[in-house]
Structure 1
Amino acid sequence: MDIEWAEDLGTFNSRTARVWAAGEPRSSFLKQPTSELWSIEAARGEAGFYRLVASLPDHPPVVPRAIEIGDGAEPFLVLEDLSATHRAPLSRDDTLAGEGVPSEADQLAVVDTLARLKAFWWDHPLQGSLLPAYWSAESEGFLPYAKRRRASWMKVRNDLPSKANETYEHLLDGLPTYWERWLGPRVADGRGLTLLHGDAYFSNFLVPRTTGHAYLIDWQSCCVDVGAGDLVNLMATFWTREQRRGRERELLREFHRRLVGYGVAGYAFDDLLLDYRFGLVYWALMPVQDAHDGAARSYWLPKLTCLLDAFDEWDCADLLI
């Protein structure tokens, strides 16, 4: 693309800009990785996902349209600029400040987009070929994952609240049993797996300013997995007990109603609730990894507090015995 002018958008984990190309009346959105190896690898994965979506004419139109895709040594994306018609329901700063509850209309738009995406990818034949499975041996597998999470916890445990360490010790000790009894059979069954975005915070959605559907952006971490993990990411990572009260189960029921409406059969609401607990077991350990990887305490501590509260309220410890 021959760029005539660019406005840097100042994101922290990639280089993004609104760009105006010569001869084009509208702006586009340019996304490039930083110089970090992880950012380049993530950009390659995201470019591959957009190329895959572009090849599927029946894919729901809730992923921004890619105008140009560059992968290989220098991956990049040029996406349609939706800022005239859409906005983020919540900023990252608002999320970290504890103001993480968008309007009810925005919540429903986000849940609808998740239901449409997951219904489309539900038991899709491309799973395991063009779309990687998170728990496959080729990816990482569960036992290496559990070992890595324990090693991260051992390095940062002195920085964590003592009550949190009690939970984490029990959680990490119980992971082999959890895999053997619960998650392993769920994944091995191969049914009811779907697309997992992996970073489905409200700030990664674009909701309509007036009418229309929401879009989900930042596809750097997608894979095949138990889809309810995105709902945990959406609600439990930064919602306090008070913010979750009443909303959480209501949105889960609304998601399930729409998922069934978009064609998913044989998946009861109780199945979703169990999958949500699986997502909580996974996400409860994420703040530990964040702390290990150098994230600011102001980021990982409120996230840890919210997730462990949800872990406790949903009786997730029962899955570890």
Structure 2
Amino acid sequence: MLHDRGILALGNRVTGTAIEPIGTGLVADSYQITISYSDGGGGPESLVAKLTSDSEQSRAAGRSELNYAREVGFYTEIAPHLQVRVPACFHAEIDSNNTEFVLLLEDLTPARPGNQLTGCTVAETRLAVEQAARIHAPYWGSEELRGNPWMDISSSYWQRFAEMMPEWYDGFRQRYAGRLSEADIALGQEFVDNIAGYYQALEGMPYTVQHGDYRPDNVLFDARGGEVPLVVLDWQTVVYAPGVVDVAYFIGGALDATTRRANEDELLRHYHSELVDLGVDGYPFERLVRDYACATFHNFIIGVAAAMLVERTERGDELFLSMVTNSLTHARDRDGARHIGIHPLAAVNRG
């Protein structure tokens, strides 16, 4: 047992439970547990239990990518030091093989789950980038996490992605051949061929706590019936790496291209202002804009990799394809390719 706030001590007073699956997670399974007590109260009425996926393919991915170890580590070691709202963790445990795990988390329903396929409003996206600053500011530029065995894994993580991306992208292209434009296929291949330049650019950015999969599917809006505006979930991809990647990832996946273009600069200024208010200095807005342009490719990387690593579903197909195509449009708009050594690309026709 790694972490216990006493919730298990209620066991001898529990008279019944009702369990319902929730969420759309692809690497782990989540359930809402409604609890009845012998004395009618004294404990939480419900909890969320998060467990290792039943899918062998997803289990293998969760183990090899340290997804399960990272989420348990986040709740036990990192979450108490951040200013972003996350579910309270009552219990966290993982086996020595970093595969079988359980989290018992605060149930924040009623809430409105984000949905990347339907997107977010500008106001919701603004709230998300504000909360991103509260994830990033406490450890911004800090060396405290350097050497952490489950979090300071960027170099090995990026090296593996650089090695595997040609194979993954080849599989992705074949699977979705009829749904990708020639221009997207070509830019995707250019990126894959120059992925080392992308990771080299990331190495020059300020490191902090990066969520790593910060997108609408991993947040709750109006939690506890509107009491909590936004809660950030699913910390399986947390890593010591540049925070700006989270911002580009969320904005690029949450807004349609027209809405994003009209509001993107204001959203970036809001994020930067929040960082400054939370004590981050020495990071001018002009540098944020440059780093953000490079980070527009994160949706591409995650979309391609996840499509090849997790169990295939209909929703997954729609999600990963949208991540990749939106990312490539985003990169064209911000001229992201130029920042990783690819020839400058003209922005897409906005007419």
Tell me which residue corresponds to 1:305: 325
Do the aligned residues in 2 keep the contact of 1:30 with 1:79 (CA within 8 Å)?
Answer: yes
Q: Is the 8 A contact 1:205 1:216 kept in 2?
A: yes
- Per-residue deviation at 1:28? 1.6
- Contact persistence 1:62–1:213 (CA under 8 A): no
Of stretches 236-245 and 309-318 in structure 1, the one that deviates more from structure 2 is 236-245
Q: Map 1:1-321 onto structure 2 (within 5 A).
A: 1=8, 2=11, 4-12=16-24, 13=26, 14-21=28-35, 23=37, 24-35=43-54, 36-39=59-62, 41-53=66-78, 56=80, 58-60=81-83, 62-72=85-95, 74-84=100-110, 87-88=111-112, 90=114, 92=115, 95-96=116-117, 99-102=118-121, 104=123, 106-130=124-148, 132-136=151-155, 139-142=156-159, 144-158=160-174, 159=177, 160-180=180-200, 182-184=201-203, 186=204, 192-208=206-222, 209-212=225-228, 214-293=230-309, 294=312, 296=314, 297-319=317-339, 320-321=341-342
- Deviation readout 1:68-108 (Å, 9 max, x if unpaired): 11222531111111214xx2353x3xx32xx312361x333
TM-align CA RMSD: 2.5
Write the deviation string for residues 158-185 of structure 1: whole angstroms up to 9, x where unpaired: 42432222112222233334555x334x
The list of structure 1 runs, each at least 4 consecutive aligned residues, that deviate by more than 4 angstroms after superposition, is 177-180
TM-score scaled by length of structure 1: 0.83
TM-score w.r.t. the length of structure 2 is: 0.77
Residue-by-residue CA offset, 1:175-221 (whole Å, 9 max, x unaligned): 334555x334x05xxxx211111111123122334455522111100
Gaps of 5+ in 2: 1-7, 38-42, 343-351
* 8 Å Cα contact 2:307/2:320 also seen in 1: yes
Identity of aligned residues (%): 23
The one-letter code matched in structure 1 to 2:83 is: P
Q: Mark the CA change 1:264 to 1:178 in structure 2 (over 3 Å): closer, same or farther.
A: same
**Aligned twin of 2:40:** none
Q: Structure 1 residues 281-290 or 266-275, which shifts more? A: 281-290
CA distance in 1, matches of 2:318, 2:87: 31
CA separation of 1:115 and 1:178: change in aligned 2, threshold 3 A? closer
In the aligned structure 2, how far is the partner of 1:53 from the partner of 1:140? 20
Distance 2:89 2:125 in 1: 25
Helix, strand or coil: the match of 2:243?
Answer: coil
Distance in 1 between residues matched to 2:61 and 2:198, nearest whole Å: 30
Letter in 2 for 1:8: E
Shift of residue 289, structure 1, vs aligned partner? 2.6
